[in-house]
C-alpha cells in the first residue's frame, strides 16, 4: 500500500513537469494563409521574404532578415519547414503547405508559428504587400540624459546653475518623453530659467541631431557638506510603443560653511541682594546682548516670578501680560545690548531663584525660513528670612496685648525711677 502511494506521487510530479514543459515550449500559430511572390511577412524587427515560387516543382525559396541583416535562406518543398531564433528566447517556424499558380504572380500557402514567446509582445505581425523595402523597424532609442553644474566647489549661500539636456544615441526615436527632476536636499530653488512644460512628443536620433534642452535652473546651497545632486529620470516609448526609462548622471558638489550668519542672544540676570527679610524689596537687572553676526528679531523674555515673591514694577520696556512680566524687543542688532531693571517684594520666607524664558528668531542669509531659538536663564539663589516684626504674627493677641502693657508700664517706671534719683 505504501509503495503504491509513492508511485502515485512520483507519477503526479512527472505529469506536472510534463505539463510545464509543454507549456514552456507551446507553439502558437500567428499566420496561416497565402503570400504572393515578392511579398514579405514581418514579425517585429524580423522579415520573412518569399522570393521564388515554383508551382511546377512544388517549391518556394525564402530569405529571413533581422532589420537589414540576412540571417537565413533556403528552399522548401511542400510540407517542409525551417526555424530561426526570435529575439531573446523565442523560435519561429515557417512551413510551406502548398504553392499555386493562375494569378499575376504565383503564391504560396504558409503557416508561421512561434514558441517560447509571449504573443502579446508582437507589435508587428502582418503581410507587407509592397515587399521588404516597405518594412519599418522599431529599435532602442537609448536616451542619454546629462545633468551638469557650473561650479563644483562653493560655500553655503552660493548659487549654482544646473543644466539638463537629453539626446537619443540608439537606433529609434524616443516618443512621449516625460522628465522628472526630484527636489534636491541641502539646496533651495532660486530661479527657473527654462523648463519643459509637458512631455516632449518626439526626440529624433542620429549624429546630426542636436541635444534637447530640458531644464536650466539655479540652486542655493543651505548646508555644508559633500553632496550628489539627484538624477533626472525620463520615461518614453520607441516607435513601436514599447516603454523605456533612463536616468541622468548625479554631479557631485562640495559646499563649505562659508559666511552663514546667526544671532546669539545671551541673558545676564543679577539681583542686588542675595539675602533679605520678608517684605523687603529686591532689585534685579537684566541685560540682553546679541553676540552673533545677524540681527535677532522678535526678542521676548518672560520673567517667571516665583510664588512667595511679588512683582512691584520695572522700567518702561517691561509690561505685564497675564500676570507675567515681559520684555519685548523688535530687533536687537549684532554686538548690541539692552538693560532693564525691575523690583520684587519678598512675601514668604524660603530660598528662591528668578527664572526666565527667552525666545527670538533670525535669518541666516541662506534659508527661506527664519531660525527660531529658545533658551532658559535663572538668577542666583535668594534667601528670604524672617522680618523684624514677624514674631508678632506668631503669638495670639491675648499674649501680645498684656506683653505690650507690661512693657509700657516697665518703661514708665524706669523713667520715674531715673527722675527721683536726680
Q: From the CB of residue 379, how many other CB atoms can be counted at a distance below 10 Å?
A: 19
**pLDDT(420) > 60:** no
Report the distance separating Cα 107 and Cα 412, nearest Å. Answer: 155
The average pLDDT across 303-321 equals 94
Per-residue confidence band for 391, with pLDDT thresholds at 50, 70 and 90: low
What's the pLDDT at 103? 79
Q: What are the C-alpha distances in Å from 341 to residues 179, 273, 300, 325?
A: 63, 14, 15, 12
Local confidence band at 268 (pLDDT 50, 70, 90 cut-offs): very high
The reported pLDDT for the residue numbered 98 is 95
272-305 confidence digits (pLDDT tens): 999 999 999 999 999 999 999 999 999 999 999 9
Backbone φ and ψ for 317, nearest 5 degrees, come out as: -80, 0
DSSP secondary structure of 232-266:
PEEEEE-TT--EEEEE----EEEEE-TT-----EE
- The confidence band for 139, taking pLDDT boundaries of 50, 70 and 90, is confident
Instruction: Give the per-residue pLDDT at 107.
Output: 94
Cα–Cα dist 418/422, whole Å: 7
Q: Is the distance from CB of 246 to CB of 299 less than 8 angstroms?
A: no
Distance between CA 121 and CA 165 in Å, rounded?
31
pLDDT of residue 236 exceeding 90, the answer is yes
At a CB cut-off of 8 Å and minimum separation 6, what does 45 contact? 66, 67, 124, 137, 138, 139
Tell me the three cell numbers of residue 138.
522599431
pLDDT tier at 418, thresholds 50, 70, 90: low
DSSP structure class, residue 120: G
Q: Which helix (H) or strand (E) holds 421?
A: helix 397-421
Question: Which residues sit opposite 299 in a β-bridge?
Answer: 329
For the segment 1-30, the average pLDDT, to the nearest whole number, is 54
Q: What is the torsion angle, in degrees rounded to the nearest 10, for the CA atoms of residue 187, residue 189, residue 195 and residue 199? A: 60
Give yes or no for residue 375 having a pLDDT over 90.
Answer: yes
Kindly report the backbone phi and psi dihedral angles of residue 10, in degrees, each rounded to the nearest multiple of 5, phi listed first. -65, -40
Mean pLDDT is lowest, of 54-58, 126-130, 135-139, 208-212, for 135-139
pLDDT higher than 80, residue 402: no
Q: Dump pLDDT digits (tens) for 164-204.
A: 999 999 989 999 999 999 999 999 999 999 999 889 999 99
Decide: 62 and 49 in contact? Cβ < 8 Å: yes
Residue 421 has φ and ψ, to the nearest 5°, of -65, -30
Provide the percentage of residues in the chain whose pLDDT is more than 70.
86
Residue 234 reports pLDDT greater than 90: yes
Query: Residue 322: helix, strand or coil by DSSP?
Result: coil
Give yes or no for a contact between 160 and 190, defined as CB atoms under 8 angstroms apart: no
- Among 1-5, 266-270, 278-282, whose mean pLDDT is lowest? 1-5
| Distance of alpha carbon 158 from the chain centroid | 22
Q: What percent of the chain is predicted at pLDDT more than 90? A: 73
Q: What is the pLDDT of residue 259?
A: 73
- pLDDT at position 129 is 93
Helix (H) or strand (E) holding 81: strand 81-86
Cell of 78: 511542400
DSSP β-ladder status, 153-155 and 252-256: parallel
pTM of the full structure: 0.55
> So what's the pLDDT on residue 404?
66
Residue 308: pLDDT over 70: yes
**Does position 24 have pLDDT exceeding 50, yes or no?**
no
Per-residue CA distances from 33 to 52, 55, 110, 128 (Å): 17, 16, 6, 13
Alpha-carbon Rg for the chain, nearest whole angstrom, is: 48
Mean per-residue pLDDT, 314-332: 95
Beta bridge partners of 70: 65
Q: What is the per-residue pLDDT for 19? A: 46
Amino acid at each position: 500500500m505504501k509503495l503504491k502511494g509513492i508511485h502515485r506521487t512520483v507519477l503526479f510530479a512527472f505529469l506536472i513537469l510534463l505539463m510545464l514543459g509543454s507549456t514552456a515550449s507551446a507553439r502558437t500559430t500567428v499566420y496561416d494563409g497565402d503570400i504572393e511572390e515578392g511579398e514579405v511577412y514581418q514579425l517585429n524587427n524580423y522579415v520573412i521574404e518569399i522570393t521564388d515560387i515554383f508551382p511546377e516543382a512544388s517549391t518556394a525559396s525564402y530569405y529571413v532578415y533581422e532589420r537589414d541583416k540576412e540571417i537565413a535562406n533556403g528552399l522548401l518543398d511542400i510540407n517542409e519547414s525551417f526555424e530561426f531564433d526570435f529575439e531573446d528566447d523565442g523560435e519561429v517556424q515557417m512551413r510551406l503547405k502548398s504553392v499555386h499558380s493562375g494569378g499575376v504572380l504565383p503564391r504560396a500557402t504558409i503557416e508561421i508559428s512561434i514558441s517560447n514567446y509571449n504573443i502579446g509582445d508582437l507589435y508587428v505581425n502582418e503581410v507587407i504587400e509592397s515587399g521588404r523595402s516597405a518594412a519599418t523597424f522599431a529599435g532602442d532609442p537609448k536616451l542619454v540624459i546629462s545633468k551638469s553644474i557650473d561650479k563644483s566647489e562653493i560655500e553655503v549661500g552660493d548659487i549654482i546653475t544646473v543644466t539638463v539636456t537629453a539626446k537619443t544615441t540608439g537606433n529609434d526615436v524616443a516618443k512621449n518623453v516625460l522628465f522628472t527632476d526630484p527636489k534636491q536636499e541641502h539646496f533651495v530653488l532660486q530661479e527657473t530659467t527654462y523648463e519643459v512644460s509637458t512631455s516632449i512628443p518626439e526626440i529624433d536620433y542620429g549624429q546630426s541631431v542636436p541635444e534637447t534642452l530640458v531644464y536650466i535652473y539655479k540652486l542655493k546651497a543651505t548646508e555644508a557638506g559633500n553632496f550628489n545632486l539627484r538624477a533626472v529620470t525620463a520615461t518614453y516609448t520607441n516607435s513601436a510603443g514599447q516603454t523605456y526609462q533612463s536616468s541622468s548622471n548625479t554631479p557631485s558638489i562640495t559646499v563649505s560653511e562659508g559666511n552663514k550668519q546667526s544671532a546669539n542672544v545671551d541673558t545676564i540676570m543679577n539681583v542686588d541682594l542675595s539675602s533679605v527679610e520678608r517684605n523687603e524689596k529686591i532689585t534685579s537687572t537684566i541685560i540682553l546682548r546679541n553676540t552673533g553676526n545677524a540681527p535677532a528679531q522678535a526678542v521676548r523674555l518672560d520673567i517667571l516670578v516665583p510664588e512667595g515673591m511679588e512683582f512691584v514694577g520695572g522700567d518702561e520696556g517691561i509690561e505685564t501680560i497675564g500676570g507675567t512680566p515681559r520684555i519685548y524687543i523688535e530687533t536687537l542688532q549684532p554686538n548690541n545690548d539692552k538693560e532693564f531693571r525691575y523690583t520684587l517684594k519678598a512675601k514668604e520666607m524660603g530660598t528662591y531663584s528668578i527664572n526666565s524664558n527667552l525666545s527670538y528668531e533670525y535669518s541666516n542669509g541662506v534659508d527661506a525660513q527664519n531660525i527660531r531659538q529658545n533658551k532658559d536663564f535663572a538668577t542666583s539663589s535668594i534667601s528670604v528670612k524672617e522680618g523684624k516684626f514677624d514674631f508678632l504674627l506668631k503669638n495670639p493677641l491675648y499674649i501680645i496685648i498684656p506683653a505690650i502693657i507690661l512693657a509700657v508700664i516697665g518703661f514708665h517706671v524706669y523713667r520715674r525711677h531715673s527722675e527721683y534719683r536726680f
